Structure 1
Amino acid sequence: MLRTLFLSLATLIMLLSSIWAVLALWYQAPGGVPGRMLCWALWLLGLAGCMYWLWAGQGGWQATLGYLMMFALLMLWWSGIRPSHERNWADDLAYISTGELEGNRVRLHHVRNFDWRTPEDYDIRWESREYDLRRLRSVDMITSYWGLENIAHVLVSFGFDGGEYLAFSVEIRREQDESFSEIGGFFKQFELAIIASDERDVVRVRSNVRNEDLWLYRINLSPADARELFRSFVVQANRLAEHPRFYHTITGNCTTIVYSMMKKIVAGLPLDYRLLLTGRLPAYVHEVGGMMPGMELEELQRRGRITDRARAAGDDPRFSALIREGVPGWE
């Protein structure tokens, strides 16, 4: 009985860890598809050999040790895969935004301000901009959905006197001809980027070019906390530009990075599953008192959907004002 229990447990561990192993090899093994298939074949052959050795004779411990050595070699290779800033990046992720902080004065470099016509047709513009945080008047959360109810991309937009808006986006840093994969995000497929962008770029490309569905919520933050959040984005972006980091679908994404900033500003923010199911993040923010007070979430969502207004606004210079018409807090 004890031997059978040991063999069953060893088998379960081998099979579960091999699922991770074959996915890691698929996303990171060199040599393209042929290289991946070869690595798969070698791994599965080794697994089959260990399983046969485990069950066919009296070599249970030896088979387990053999598999552990095989897995240790895989982990040694895995630990050698490092993030890098030196790749053939997509045009809209060619730079990570950085900034210089001097009290309330901020000078940002590589602010993206593309003019998008189609996903492949756009004018490239990277700008330097200066901001006075004493003129900061608002913080908005924008959620963008592309077909999955529980998954959304989250933008944080800052509004200044005079109708000027700047949005920060924590994104995967795609290479040319690379597309997003939730599974690949677990296996070092993408680096992480923080991009500061004009709303007519980062919002309009999602609503008008990629046909995503967007909601905008006015966030209830004090002026001091709003300024501190802006500074946190700049500090995090500078750190990321200095030290590359992999995107991770759970631990390093557009929501968890912002949450790590916010919990240093707002005491007592609880962990919650909706930080991972980003499509449900508005319910979490509403629950912790982060939205306009005295309003139900359903009303905020009904009036906060900006997709149609964004598409109607097009490239109008008043884009940011037009998408906010009727949004609670922006009447």
Structure 2
Amino acid sequence: MRKTPIRIATFVGLLLLGLLVLAAGVWGALALLYAGPRDEPLRNALAAGVALATLLALGALPLHRWRRTMLGCYLTLFVVLLVWWHGIEPSNQRDWLADVAVLPHASIEGDMVTVHDIRNFDYRSETDFTPAWYDRRFDLRQLQGVDLVAVYWMGPAIAHIFLSFDFGKGDHLAVSIETRKEKGEGYSTLKGFFRQYELYYVVADERDVIRLRTNYRHDPPEDVYVYRLKGDLDNGRRLFLEYMQRINELHERPEFYNTLTTNCTTTIWMNTRVNPSHLPFDWRILASGYLPEFLYEQGRLDTRGLPFAELQQQVHVNARAQAADSAADFSRRIRELSQPSSAGVASDDFDTGQ
């Protein structure tokens, strides 16, 4: 009878060890498939070798005679993989797609911030455009609000989230955290786990970054919602400066994007930690499509006294953006019927401390 608990403990221990070996093997094989040598046959052969080694290690677990030897060999293989993995470095020197070819940066002098290389493309279609960038000087004392922009294209659970800073008189600066892709490279959620994209802050005119999504992306079509955040304006100023500092850091030292840990929404949350009133981490930061409703529940949105469903309908800007198109007052027109006038926003009417 005394042997029964020992056998159960051994079984559970081997089961957990087997799951660990399996997870390491799946990660190693996928890492080699996506980030391994450029030579495809060699890359596939190395990934297959890791998969075979994983199967052999799993098969040896029940065999006391071979267990220690196989696990030792497998651990050595995994250490080699980790050394190779940590040797993969991000770069700012690649053959980039035109829309991410220029790295923005900022010059900060007290309350005055000059943002260099703000994107403002003239689109004829999603892929046909005339590139253009400009510089603009912003006075932090003129900040009047911050908007959260939610973009949906694949159901309610997933959205691309970015912020737009309102400096009054129709002057909005949008900052969208995205992947920096090379020519000929498309986006893949799975590839995003394996150091395939650099992290990129798109600093853009709203006529670019919002109009691109409402007017020119049709496969699939994208729905765009612009919510006004509420709270202390000092939070917005600190967050804007945090964004500018991160943009400058990436200009000097590139970093990798990660689908789970360093994506559009988790990076916003990390940046908002500069404010003492930021929200604690919540699962809806990962299931980003539900983030606006979470902020609504936390009292972080200008609700206008509306239930969330009605507010969401009111801030849906596609029709207004399509009507405004390239108009100089694009930002004002997409907010008609969806946002109060700037003059009506007091210093405690929005919050970027989420």
TM-score (norm 2): 0.87
Alpha carbons of structure 1 residues 84 and 148: separation in structure 2 relative to 1, 3 Å:
farther
Q: Which moved more, 1:45-54 or 1:259-268?
A: 45-54
- Give the aligned residue type for 2:340: G
User: Which one of the candidate residues 313, 316, 325 is aligned to 2:327?
Assistant: 316
Q: Deviations over 1:220-263 (max 9, x none)?
A: 13332222221111111111212111111222111122212223
Tell me the residue number matched to 2:242. 232
Q: Deviations over 1:140-169 (max 9, x none)?
A: 111111223211111211122321111011
SS in structure 2 of the partner of residue 59 of structure 1: helix
Find the aligned partners of 1:318 and 1:80 in 2 and give their Cα distance: 48
Q: Deviations over 1:151-199 (max 9, x none)?
A: 1111211122321111011111111121222222211111101121000
Tell me the residue number matched to 1:259. 269
**2:162 is the alignment partner of 1:151:** no
Find the aligned partners of 1:67 and 1:241 in 2 and give their Cα distance: 39
In the TM superposition, 1:274-285 aligns within 5 A as 274-285=284-295
Alpha carbons of structure 1 residues 295 and 264: separation in structure 2 relative to 1, 3 Å:
farther
Alpha carbons of structure 1 residues 145 and 246: separation in structure 2 relative to 1, 3 Å:
same
Compute the displacement of 1:53 (Å).
4.5
Find the aligned partners of 1:151 and 1:32 in 2 and give their Cα distance: 34
Find the aligned partners of 2:295 and 2:109 in 1 and give their Cα distance: 31
- CA RMSD in angstroms comes to 2.0
Tell me the residue number matched to 1:306. 317
**2:283 is the alignment partner of 1:273:** yes
Alpha carbons of structure 1 residues 42 and 163: separation in structure 2 relative to 1, 3 Å:
same
Tell me the residue number matched to 1:111. 118
Compute the displacement of 1:323 (Å).
0.9
Instruction: State whether residues 10 and 64 of structure 1, in contact with CA within 8 Å, keep that contact through their aligned partners in structure 2.
Output: no
Flag structure 1 segments of 5+ consecutive residues without an equivalent. Answer: none
Q: Deviations over 1:291-329 (max 9, x none)?
A: 115332222101011112112222122211111111043
Instruction: State whether residues 161 and 264 of structure 2, in contact with CA within 8 Å, keep that contact through their aligned partners in structure 1.
Output: yes
Tell me the residue number matched to 1:87. 94
Q: Which moved more, 1:280-289 or 1:5-14?
A: 5-14
User: Which one of the candidate residues 73, 85, 89 is aligned to 1:78?
Assistant: 85
SS in structure 1 of the partner of residue 264 of structure 2: coil
Alpha carbons of structure 1 residues 59 and 231: separation in structure 2 relative to 1, 3 Å:
same
Compute the displacement of 1:266 (Å).
4.1
**2:186 is the alignment partner of 1:179:** yes
Instruction: State whether residues 238 and 274 of structure 2, in contact with CA within 8 Å, keep that contact through their aligned partners in structure 1.
Output: no
The number of residue pairs the alignment matches comes to 331
- Give the aligned residue type for 2:292: P
Instruction: State whether residues 219 and 291 of structure 1, in contact with CA within 8 Å, keep that contact through their aligned partners in structure 2.
Output: yes
Flag structure 2 segments of 5+ consecutive residues without an equivalent. Answer: 1-6, 345-354
Alpha carbons of structure 1 residues 9 and 158: separation in structure 2 relative to 1, 3 Å:
closer
Find the aligned partners of 2:58 and 2:231 in 1 and give their Cα distance: 58
Instruction: State whether residues 300 and 328 of structure 1, in contact with CA within 8 Å, keep that contact through their aligned partners in structure 2.
Output: no
Instruction: State whether residues 139 and 221 of structure 1, in contact with CA within 8 Å, keep that contact through their aligned partners in structure 2.
Output: no
SS in structure 2 of the partner of residue 255 of structure 1: helix
Find the aligned partners of 2:295 and 2:183 in 1 and give their Cα distance: 35
Find the aligned partners of 2:97 and 2:229 in 1 and give their Cα distance: 31
User: Which one of the candidate residues 186, 205, 211 is aligned to 2:212?
Assistant: 205
SS in structure 2 of the partner of residue 286 of structure 1: helix
Instruction: State whether residues 34 and 196 of structure 2, in contact with CA within 8 Å, keep that contact through their aligned partners in structure 1.
Output: yes
Find the aligned partners of 1:172 and 1:200 in 2 and give their Cα distance: 20
Find the aligned partners of 2:50 and 2:295 in 1 and give their Cα distance: 45
- Give the aligned residue type for 2:311: L
**2:201 is the alignment partner of 1:191:** no
SS in structure 2 of the partner of residue 149 of structure 1: coil
TM-score (norm 1): 0.93
- Give the aligned residue type for 2:185: E
Q: What percentage of residue pairs aligned between the two structures are identical? A: 37
Find the aligned partners of 1:258 and 1:54 in 2 and give their Cα distance: 44
